Structure 1
């Protein structure tokens, strides 16, 4: 089957499954909604901040505060796109129709990535503009240094989270097992490691910690991260490539 036909087939699969549509919609709603709420709260609390905290105030990054929960939906989306066929047994039919396993996997990833990128970019810009509206006179402008990079970076971050989840799901094949690893990694392990001085250096190189650097415009006080925004995004891309390569190699070697 030609690659274009496989891509068309994967597009049909993804848009016909209600769960994928709902998870992408949830990613937008949660990220935008929390961003608005936290931006409004930050505006009200700004006068109570210490002079040091005021210097570190980052209106752009604050508007992306909802991303921490919005990425949850992107993780679920990435996992479901790949592992749904394994849980239903449809993967055998897909492999019979497309014996070239690499073509099947990367067509699926390409379609899902395009969707995630579109949703991520729309979410990033909507979140930024509405968040800045809530911040009032503390708001940042899209033309300010580093702001456009941060907004575009927010969309790229959401996309890479979904792609990383696809790679993990391709390796593990089970939606429950994939989510059982990804959820603690991003919402528990990463937070704990970054809070402990002995493991803080390790945490800086985890995909979420490194990738989220792209959304910062103002460098936090006492920030000793050894890389900048684009360096952090490059680290996250390396994690994504490793996960997808691992999924591809295991798909080639294992039975359906």
Structure 2
């Protein structure tokens, strides 16, 4: 089977599974909704904020407040794209049709990653413009220094979260096990490591904490990260590459 036909096949699989489409829709809705809510609350309480918070206020990053829940949906999407075939047993038929396992895996990931990137960009730009409209006089403009980079970075961040989840799912081959590891990793372990003084230097190199740096325009004085926005995204990309290599090695060397 040619690479083009494999890509077409993977696209058909993704759009024919309703759970993956609904998951992407959920990523957009929850990100915009929570970002809008936080933007409204921030506008109404801005004058009550501590002086330092007002001095280093980052309206762009505030509009991305819903990214935490949005990335949850992107994680589920990434896991389902890869592990659904294992849970249904369809993986045997797929590998019989595409014996080259590398072609099979990376075609699936390429199609899903492109879809995640499109949804990520729609979500990021939507969250920004909605959030800024609700922030009123405290808003930023897309033409302000660093803002366009942050908005594009938000879309890249969501896509990379999805691809990282695909790599993990390819290694673990189970949706429940993959989600059982990824959810605590991003929503518990990462937060603990990033907020405890003894482990903060370790936490800032985790994929979500490093990657989210690209969405920030204003650097707070208490920021200790030894990298900038693109450096943080590069660290996240390195995690993604490692996950994909691990997934490829597993699918290459283990029976379906």
TM class, shorter-length: over 0.9
Residue 78 of structure 2 corresponds to which residue in structure 1?
A: 78
What is the CA-CA distance between 1:56 and the residue it aligns to?
1.5
- Residue 224 in 1 paired to residue 224 in 2? yes
What is the CA-CA distance between 1:55 and the residue it aligns to?
1.1
Work out the CA distance in 1 between the residues paired with 2:22 and 2:222.
Answer: 40
Work out the CA distance in 2 between the residues paired with 1:190 and 1:196.
Answer: 10
What is the CA-CA distance between 1:220 and the residue it aligns to?
1.8
- Residue 109 in 1 paired to residue 109 in 2? yes
- Secondary structure in structure 2 of the residue aligned to 1:225: coil
Residue 6 of structure 1 corresponds to which residue in structure 2?
A: 6
Residue 204 of structure 1 corresponds to which residue in structure 2?
A: 204
**Residue pairs, 1:6-155, within 5 angstroms:** 6-155=6-155
TM-score, normalised to structure 2, is: 0.99
Aligned residues: 256
What is the CA deviation profile of residues 115-164 of structure 1, one whole-angstrom value per residue up to 9, with x for unaligned ones? Answer: 00000001111110000000000000000000000000000000000000
Unmatched tracts of structure 2, length 5 or more:
none
What is the CA-CA distance between 1:221 and the residue it aligns to?
2.7
Residue 239 of structure 2 corresponds to which residue in structure 1?
A: 239
Unmatched tracts of structure 1, length 5 or more:
none
Alpha-carbon RMSD across the aligned residues, in angstroms, is 0.5
Work out the CA distance in 1 between the residues paired with 2:114 and 2:50.
Answer: 43
- Secondary structure in structure 1 of the residue aligned to 2:197: coil
Moved over 2 A (4+): none
What is the CA deviation profile of residues 60-119 of structure 1, one whole-angstrom value per residue up to 9, with x for unaligned ones? Answer: 000000000110000000000000000000000000000000000000000000100000
Work out the CA distance in 2 between the residues paired with 1:46 and 1:245.
Answer: 46
Work out the CA distance in 2 between the residues paired with 1:86 and 1:56.
Answer: 48
